[in-house]
Amino acid sequence: MYDFELRRPENLSEAIESLSADGAQALAGGQTLIPTLKNRLASPDVLVSIGGLAELQGVSESNGVVSIKAGTTHGVVAGSVKSYPALAALAANIGDPAVRNRGTIGGSIANNDPSACYPAATLASKATIITSKRSIPSSDFFVGIFETVLDEGELITQVDFEVPDVANYQKFDQPASRFALVGVFLARYGNDVRVAVTGASEDGVFRWSEAEQALGSDFSASAIDRLEVDAEGMIEDIHGSKDYRASLIKVLTKRAVKAC
Amino acid sequence: MATVTMTVNGKSVSGEVEGRTLLSDFVRNNLNLTGTHIGCDTSQCGACVVHVDGKAVKSCTIFALEVEGSTVKTIEGMANPDGSLGVVQQAFQDNHGLQCGFCTPGMVMSAAALLDENPNPTETEIREYLEGNICRCTGYHNIVKSIQAAAVAA
C-alpha cells in the first residue's frame, strides 16, 4: 500500500476540518478501506481516523426511531438495538466477529458496496442519513455502485431508522466473503411495504416496487407469485448468474414475508 | 514516521511507525512477537487475530497508530505467568486442535474472545464464531472440541 499521513483528530470538528484537505479520506473501521488500500485501489494522501471518536459512538431509541451514531460498530448495533430486532440481526450477521468489532454503520453506508447489508436496511426502513452538512433521506442517498450523494469531505454522523411494524432481512450468504450474494430487507409500515434488495443489481441497492405494491394490498407470500424480476441489469459473476440472482430476489422476498 | 505507544501483553511499548504500518507488522517487526501470523493479508483468514481493548480484531486490518493508548493481547500473552500453557492453549494441545499450527494463534485468540463473551457456547455458536478463522488443514472438528474442553476447564 502507498504511504499516507494518518491523522487522529480528538473530536468531530477537528475531523471535519482535517477532511477538508485535498486528498483526505475518512477512515472508520477500515474493514473495507484497508484491504482496498493494500490493493492500491485507493491512494489518499491523508487518512482521517474517525472510528474512535466518542461523538460518533452509540445507539439511542425513542418514539419509534432508532438513532445510530456513524462510528458504531456492527457488534455494538447487534448487541444494543432492542426496538428493531431485524436491524440488530442484520448487524449480527455481517462478516465475522473480528470484522464486526471494527466495521461501522457509517462506513458501510458511505462505501455503498453493491453487496453490503446496511444499504438495504437503510433504504427499506425510511432512514435519514445525517451528515456534517445536512440530512438526506435514504431514498435520495444511494446513486450507484460505490457511489452516494456525499460530497468531498462530507461525513456521515448518524443514521436514523423509523422502526417498522414488522421487518425481516433475508441474506443469502456468499460463503467466502460473507457478503450477501443477494439480500432482501422487507419492512412493513401499515399498508406501506418496502422491499430493498442488495447484492443483485449492477446499479447497487434498489427497491422492488412491484413487490411493494402487491404486498401493500395483500401481505402474503403468494401475493408476489405472479411477479418476476427482470434479469437484465443483474450482477453476473462466478458465484451466480443474472437469472439466478433475479430468482433469488423473489425467493428471499417470500421467505421474508413468511418470517414476519 | 510517528511514535505509537500501547500496552502489549501487560507491558508498555512504543515504536516508530509509518501511517500505513499495520498492527500485525508492528507486533511482528517492531516487537518481535512473531506468534501473530499473517496468513492472507487480505482480512479473510484470521491467523492474525489479536485482542484490542478486549475485542478480537484482525491485526492486519487495523493501523498501529489507531491502537495508540490501547491495550493489546497477542498469542504470547495467553500463557500463564510461569510460562505454562493457558487454559485455551492447553485445551488445543490436549485435543489435537492443531495440525500444521499456522492458524492456531488466531484460533486461540478468537476462542478466548468467544469464551469471554459466552462462557458456555454451543457447538453451533463456536462454529459461527470461527467464521473468520480459516484452517487450511481443515482441522475444524478438533478445534471445536478444544474450545468445548476449554469452556469446561475455565
By three-state DSSP, how is residue A188 classified? strand
**Could you say which of 3.10.20.30, 3.30.390.50, 3.40.50.2300, 3.40.50.1220 is the CATH number of the domain covering A166-259?**
3.30.390.50
Question: Both B44 and B92 in a single domain?
Answer: no
Task: Tell if the CB–CB gap between A49 and B110 is shorter than 8 Å.
Answer: no
Are A68 and A121 in contact by the 8 Å Cβ rule? The answer is: no
The cell for B92 is 488445543
Percent of chain B residues topping a pLDDT of 70: 100
Question: Both B95 and B62 in a single domain?
Answer: no
User: Which residues on B lie below 8 Å from A178 (Cβ)?
Assistant: 131-132
B59 falls within a domain: yes
Domain A56-162 is of which CATH architecture? Answer: 2-Layer Sandwich (3.30)
Residue spans per domain, chain A: 5-49, 56-162, 166-259
Distance of alpha carbon A222 from alpha carbon A34, whole angstroms: 44
B82 falls within a domain: no
Average pLDDT, chain A: 96
The residue to which cell 444511494 is assigned: A142
Question: Both B31 and B57 in a single domain?
Answer: yes
Question: Which domain CATH number covers B122?
Answer: 1.10.150.120
Q: Between residues 161 and 180 of chain A, which touch chain B (CB distance below 8 Å)?
A: 176, 178
Are B128 and B65 in contact by the 8 Å Cβ rule? The answer is: no
B147 falls within a domain: yes
B72 falls within a domain: yes
**B132 at the A interface (CB within 8 A)?**
yes
Looking at CA atoms only, how far is residue A151 from chain B in angstroms?
25
Task: Tell if the CB–CB gap between B20 and A1 is shorter than 8 Å.
Answer: yes
Question: Both B126 and B149 in a single domain?
Answer: yes
Q: Could you count the other beta carbons within 10 Å of the beta carbon of residue B84?
A: 9
Considering CB atoms only, which of B19, B43, B56 is closest to A3? Answer: B19
Q: Which of B48, B76, B104 is the last residue before a domain boundary?
A: B76
Task: Tell if the CB–CB gap between B58 and A98 is shorter than 8 Å.
Answer: yes
Q: At residue A104, what is the residue type?
A: T
Q: Give the model's pLDDT for residue A175.
A: 82
The cell for A39 is 490493493
Task: Tell if the CB–CB gap between A6 and B46 is shorter than 8 Å.
Answer: no
Question: Does B154 score more than 90 pLDDT?
Answer: no
Looking at CA atoms only, how far is residue A197 from chain B in angstroms?
24
B81 falls within a domain: no
Question: Does B40 score more than 90 pLDDT?
Answer: yes
Considering CB atoms only, which of A4, A35, A176 is closest to B61? Answer: A35
Question: pLDDT (tens digit, 9 = 90+) per residue, B90-140?
Answer: 999 999 999 999 999 999 999 999 999 999 999 999 999 999 999 999 899
Are A248 and A240 in contact by the 8 Å Cβ rule? The answer is: yes
Question: Which domain CATH number covers B8?
Answer: 3.10.20.30
Q: Give the model's pLDDT for residue B114.
A: 98
Our CA dihedral for A43, A47, A52, A57, rounded to 10 degrees, sits at -80
Which residue range forms the structural domain that includes residue B35?
2-76
Task: Tell if the CB–CB gap between B65 and A102 is shorter than 8 Å.
Answer: no
The per-residue pLDDT string of chain A (260 residues; one tens digit each, 9 = 90 and over) reads 999 999 999 999 999 999 999 999 999 999 999 999 999 999 999 999 998 899 999 999 999 999 999 999 999 999 999 999 999 999 999 999 999 999 999 999 999 999 999 999 999 999 999 999 999 999 999 999 999 999 999 999 999 999 999 999 999 999 888 899 999 999 999 999 999 999 999 999 999 999 999 999 999 999 999 999 999 999 999 999 999 999 999 999 999 999 99
Task: Tell if the CB–CB gap between A75 and B19 is shorter than 8 Å.
Answer: no
Distance of alpha carbon B82 from alpha carbon A252, whole angstroms: 54
Question: Both B135 and B69 in a single domain?
Answer: no
Question: Both B71 and B97 in a single domain?
Answer: no
Cα A90–A98–B46 angle (5° rounding)?
125
Q: In chain B, helix, strand, coil percent, each to 5?
A: 40, 20, 40
The cell for B83 is 510460562
Task: Tell if the CB–CB gap between A6 and B65 is shorter than 8 Å.
Answer: yes
Distance of alpha carbon B154 from alpha carbon B140, whole angstroms: 21
Question: Both B113 and B134 in a single domain?
Answer: yes
Q: Which of A204, A256, A254, A260 is nearest to A228 (CA)?
A: A254
Looking at CA atoms only, how far is residue A56 from chain B in angstroms?
16
Task: Tell if the CB–CB gap between B57 and A75 is shorter than 8 Å.
Answer: no
Q: Give the model's pLDDT for residue A178.
A: 82
The cell for B20 is 500505513
Are A197 and A183 in contact by the 8 Å Cβ rule? The answer is: yes
Q: Give the model's pLDDT for residue A51.
A: 86
Q: Give the model's pLDDT for residue A20.
A: 94
Question: Both B114 and B51 in a single domain?
Answer: no
Question: Both B127 and B94 in a single domain?
Answer: yes
Q: Give the model's pLDDT for residue B41.
A: 87
Q: Which chain A residue lies closest to B58 (C-alpha atoms)?
A: A98
Cα A116–A76–B38 angle (5° rounding)?
65
Distance of alpha carbon A112 from alpha carbon A249, whole angstroms: 19
Can you say how many angstroms the Cα of residue B87 is from the centroid of all Cα atoms in its chain?
14
Task: Tell if the CB–CB gap between B18 and A1 is shorter than 8 Å.
Answer: no
Task: Tell if the CB–CB gap between A101 and B55 is shorter than 8 Å.
Answer: yes
**A26 at the B interface (CB within 8 A)?**
no
Q: DSSP character for B85?
A: P
Q: Which of A1, A25, A33, A34 to mutate to test the interface with B (most CBs of B within 10 A)?
A: A34
Give B7's contacts (C-beta < 8 A, 6+ positions apart): B13, B70, B71, B72
Are A227 and A216 in contact by the 8 Å Cβ rule? The answer is: no
Task: Tell if the CB–CB gap between A30 and B61 is shorter than 8 Å.
Answer: yes
Angstrom CA distances, A57 to A72, A86, A144, B69, B107, stand at 5, 21, 28, 18, 29
Looking at CA atoms only, how far is residue A23 from chain B in angstroms?
15
**A96 at the B interface (CB within 8 A)?**
yes
Considering its fold, how many domains does chain B have in total? Answer: 2
Considering CB atoms only, which of A31, A101, A176 is closest to B43? Answer: A31
Are A37 and A77 in contact by the 8 Å Cβ rule? The answer is: no
Question: Both B117 and B136 in a single domain?
Answer: yes
**A54 at the B interface (CB within 8 A)?**
no
Q: Count chain A–chain B contacts defined by CB atoms under 8 A.
A: 78
CATH topology of domain A5-49: 3.30.43
Looking at CA atoms only, how far is residue B133 from chain A in angstroms?
9
Question: Both B20 and B46 in a single domain?
Answer: yes
Question: Both B64 and B94 in a single domain?
Answer: no
Can you say how many angstroms the Cα of residue A38 is from the centroid of all Cα atoms in its chain?
23
